[in-house]
Amino acid sequence: MNNTPLLYGEQVSKSYGTLEVVKSVNLSVAPAEFVCMVGKSGSGKTTLLALLSGMEQPTSGKVMLEDTDLTRSSEDDLALVRREKVGFIFQSFQLIPTLSAWENVALPLFPLKMAKEERRSRAVELLARLDMQHRLDHLPTALSGGEKQRVAIARALVNHPCIVFADEPTGNLDSATGADIMAILKGLQHEAGVAMLMVTHDQELAAQADRIVCMKDGEVSV
């Protein structure tokens, strides 16, 4: 594993008014590393994830993704970074209800000048890797929780990201399905060399990561 950090947060803080949610956090993720963030509700895990992924700007501190300073990038530049380098997986899947499984996967590719066939083939290929080839044209309402999360994982990977941010990806799933999803994520980490930064409550799942980061009251304790 390459030890040069892919993602690096330095003295990252976030306050909402007088409430300091994240306090001077330093955190790095190496290429193809699987890092789990654990901590109680309200400990600042999700906020830190948003700060490190460029979805939210810190009150102070610096976040570098490869050679891009996310804290100094414009909104459009951040969108570009998210489109080209980052994948997201959410607890509630966040699929577009009017689009089929393959269209949801291809969603990050829609703004790109790309032939529809190529979009579809990339989405179909990913869904096939996740054993979802039989559900390509189904709407999210016709999918089970585990299937929805597989679609969400495929969507996170369709743009060949260098890092995937996963916020409680197994939180809405039963334990067996959660274990399946974790296995998929681990597999993708090894096969595709994608770094993972995952927030979870589940200590058992977290134990499968390369490294565990504990959050408590907005601070990190390794």
Which positions lie near other proteins, rule CB under 8 A?
Answer: 46, 50, 55-56, 75-76, 79-80, 82-84, 86, 88, 90-92, 94, 96-99, 103, 107-108, 110-111, 116, 139, 155, 159
Nearest-angstrom CA–CA distance, 208 and 205:
6
Task: Lay out the sheet containing 60-65: strands in order across.
Answer: 19-29, 7-16, 60-65, 68-69
Judged by beta carbon, residue 1 or residue 125, the one nearer other proteins is 125
Judged by beta carbon, residue 104 or residue 189, the one nearer other proteins is 104
DSSP 8-class letter at 2: -
DSSP helix/strand/coil, 39: strand
Judged by beta carbon, residue 30 or residue 91, the one nearer other proteins is 91
For residue 86, the minimal CB distance to other proteins (Å) is 8
For residue 126, the minimal CB distance to other proteins (Å) is 14
Judged by beta carbon, residue 76 or residue 191, the one nearer other proteins is 76
For residue 146, the minimal CB distance to other proteins (Å) is 17
Judged by beta carbon, residue 53 or residue 189, the one nearer other proteins is 53
For residue 205, the minimal CB distance to other proteins (Å) is 18
For residue 1, the minimal CB distance to other proteins (Å) is 27
Name which of 35, 70, 22, 18 is nearest 200 in CA terms.
Answer: 35
User: Which residues in 65-100 are b (16+ Cβ under 10 Å) and which e?
Assistant: beebebbebeeeebeebbeebbbbbbbebebeeebb
Please list, in sequence order, all residues whose beta carbon lies within 8 angstroms of the beta carbon of residue 125, skipping any fewer than 6 positions away: none
